[in-house]
Amino acid sequence: MKFCQARLSPPLIGQIVAEASLDAPEEYYRDVYDEYVERRKCLIDGLNRIPGVYSPIPMGAFYTVAKLPIDDSDKFCRWCLEEFNYEGETVMMAPASGFYTTPGAGRNQVRVAYVLKKHDLERALVVLAKALEAYPGRVEDEGL
């Protein structure tokens, strides 16, 4: 029974936090919503300005899946973390292939969250653009 409760019920601390949030003023929720709309706009607009990159506008999440001009998202994400930096910084993304059940799907896509503040997202977009310029597995635009 305890195993079922652990798997099927939200954690107690989460329930306590959720209950406490019910007392927050409506303005708080509006401010948070507006902040994430701005972050989403910053990220999506910035991604779509990078040559060869395409990202649709997500409607119900705080992340997007972007198509990149790369050969393999697993290799690219690993390369960014292990071998690349621009002015001492790099970017961390999740290969989108892990979010698909179809073999080969998402091979040139990454999942990027917009949980960072807007100025940090802007900087990350610069670093991502530089990474794409330098990546040895870059491919030509496939009609993105």
User: Which tokens belong to 111?
Assistant: 């999942």
Domains parsed from the chain with CATH numbers: 12-134 (3.90.1150.10)
- Do residues 93 and 142 make contact, with C-beta atoms less than 8 angstroms apart? no
Closest of 61, 46, 40, 56 to residue 132, by C-alpha: 46
- Count CA within 13 A, CB hemisphere, residue 78: 6
Quick one: pLDDT at residue 140?
81
In which residue are the tokens 């690349």 written? 84
Q: What is the pTM of this model?
A: 0.83
pLDDT digits (tens, 9 = 90+) for 3-44: 555 567 778 888 888 888 888 899 999 999 999 999 999 999
- Do residues 112 and 64 make contact, with C-beta atoms less than 8 angstroms apart? yes
- Do residues 106 and 95 make contact, with C-beta atoms less than 8 angstroms apart? yes
User: Which tokens belong to 44?
Assistant: 């999506």
Quick one: pLDDT at residue 49?
98
pLDDT digits (tens, 9 = 90+) for 31-87: 999 999 999 999 999 999 999 999 999 988 899 999 999 999 999 999 999 999 999
Quick one: pLDDT at residue 65?
98
